[in-house]
Amino acid sequence: NAGVMQNPRHLVRRRGQEARLRCSPMKGHSHVYWYRQLPEEGLKFMVYLQKENIIDESGMPKERFSAEFPKEGPSILRIQQVVRGDSAAYFCASSPVLALFTDTQYFGPGTRLTVL
Amino acid sequence: GENVEQHPSTLSVQEGDSAVIKCTYSDSASNYFPWYKQELGKRPQLIIDIRSNVGEKKDQRIAVTLNKTAKHFSLHITETQPEDSAVYFCAASPLQGAQKLVFGQGTRLTINP
């Protein structure tokens, strides 16, 4: 049973470019969460999605950031016009739907974004 | 909203000794408290969790205690080993079911041989 998959693992962008980060949840999971981790800091919640729905985007910056989880395919976190302050590790987590405990979240390996 | 404070930020113990990391939370409605271990450059790995209907949970050398009245919970690692060296994060989930996690700032644990 494959775990949460993220790609790319490392992404380098120049200021002003777009970054697209992908996340495939574990098999049987349809809740996806995105977190950002700045160097030497904790994880900060960004957005929580279910298939075709954004449930909670209270941690997402209002501009330049968007997320989706289509009916088919991975969840995408999109950052437009990246700035140096966007450099961070972006982690995706997933949790199951039909289980006793739907709150248990399992993390992917992360995408390390570097903005030059 | 929920706020989670974690202490200490760094902890150094001798191999074989015990380590304790403490967290406090602000939202009395929070009911799920996981602990994650993160090695350098790796993903956070769930090591143990506790729900608000339980006061203590153990898994081999790891235990977690929860005091709902005081709104704090602690991670206890006994007989520490070098491979326990990592950053540990506590978290709280403010609502029932599948919801976001609010993380503490992390504790860098170093086990000295």
Model confidence pLDDT, tens digit, residues A18-72: 999 999 999 888 899 999 999 878 899 999 999 999 999 999 999 999 999 999 9
pLDDT value of residue A101:
60
Contact B105 A42 (CB under 8 A): yes
- The percent of residues in chain A predicted with pLDDT above 70, rounded, is 94
List all residues 6 or more positions away from A100 whose beta carbon is below 8 Å from its beta carbon.
none
Q: What is the pLDDT of residues B3-62, one digit of tens each?
A: 999 999 999 999 999 999 999 999 988 888 999 999 999 999 999 999 887 789 999 999
Residue numbers in A near B106 (CB within 8 A)? 41-42
What pLDDT digit, counting tens, does each position of A5-18 carry? 999 999 999 999 99
Question: Do the Cβ atoms of A102 and B42 come within 8 Å?
Answer: no
The pLDDT tens digits for B80-97 are 999 999 999 999 987 665
Distance CA B81, CA A80 (A): 44
Side-chain-side CA neighbours of residue B38 (13 Å): 30
Q: Provide the pLDDT for residue B96.
A: 62
* pLDDT over threshold 90, residue A109: yes
DSSP B93: B
Q: Hey, are the CB atoms on A33 and B101 less than 8 Å from each other?
A: yes
Cα separation, B20 vs B13, in Å, equals 10
User: Rounded to whole angstroms, what are the CA distances from B109 to A3, A7, B14, B18, B112?
Assistant: 26, 29, 11, 11, 10
